[in-house]
Amino acid sequence: MSGQPSAIILASTSVYRAALMEKLGIRFDQVDPDFIEQSVQGETPEAMAMRLAAGKALATSHRLASGLASPAIVIGSDQVAHVGNQSSGYKILSKPGNFENAVKQLQLCSDQWVTYSTAVCLVRQDGAVLSRFCEHYRLRFRKLSNDQINRYLKLDQPYDCAGSIKAEAHGIMLIADSDGQDINTLYGLPLIRLITELKVVGVVIPS
């Protein structure tokens, strides 16, 4: 793909992903992907994140194709948080939605490593896939008492966050260790890899 794309579309309504995109210093539009997320039995967390990221990007490009400037790029992304592994089995940590579910999630995460697998898919306005990748970031939670969990949830109210934690806020108090290349992967968009892939397809990133 040659030349600077005339439009960058973020296929997400997430305020967190929009804030991350703003770090790149490029103009973009944010669009609801209008994509129904469904689970597939036996799917790994990475495969799930990759499938959903592609689904969001493709659904958006197909719906807006006639109205998108040419050339244009649509960015779809999805994050799957989980505990466990392939041998022991995965437990997916979705957005809790309320206090009770968040308590259960943090009890499960206590003294455990939690992996955040964040996938990105770049597609052209005609639906051609330009790039797909998945990055991982891991957090090890401290051993948490019920009192600690209750106090934390009242502070951050992270009910729209997978794993029931806002690590960029008071949630850092719950973390004992971390492992990963790009902290932005944890927050919902692996910017280091995204910058590389955008440059490959002709997007100029201000230095």
**12: number of CA atoms within 13 Å, CB side?**
24
Low-confidence ranges of the chain (pLDDT < 50): 1-2
For the record, the structure tokens of 67 come out as 């109205």
Which tens digit of pLDDT belongs to each residue from 156-178?
999 999 999 999 999 999 999 99
Rounded distance between C-alpha atoms, residue 152 and residue 144, angstroms: 10
Give the largest Cα separation in the chain, rounded. 56
For the record, the structure tokens of 37 come out as 């997320």
Rounded distance between C-alpha atoms, residue 113 and residue 109, angstroms: 7
Rounded distance between C-alpha atoms, residue 142 and residue 201, angstroms: 41
Rounded distance between C-alpha atoms, residue 119 and residue 89, angstroms: 21
User: What pLDDT is attached to residue 9?
Assistant: 94
User: What pLDDT is attached to residue 70?
Assistant: 66
Rounded distance between C-alpha atoms, residue 113 and residue 141, angstroms: 6
User: For this structure, is 177 an active site residue?
Assistant: no
User: What pLDDT is attached to residue 5?
Assistant: 66
User: What pLDDT is attached to residue 4?
Assistant: 65
The CATH number of 7-200 is 3.90.950.10
Q: Map out the domains of the chain as residue ranges.
A: 7-200
For the record, the structure tokens of 156 come out as 């951050």
**CA dist 173 to 105, 177, 203, Å?**
16, 11, 38
**CA dist 40 to 45, 52, 70, 129, 150, Å?**
10, 11, 34, 22, 33
Of the residues 29, 78, 156, 177, only one is catalytic, namely 78
The residues pairing with 9 across neighbouring beta strands, listed in sequence order, are 29, 74
User: What pLDDT is attached to residue 88?
Assistant: 75
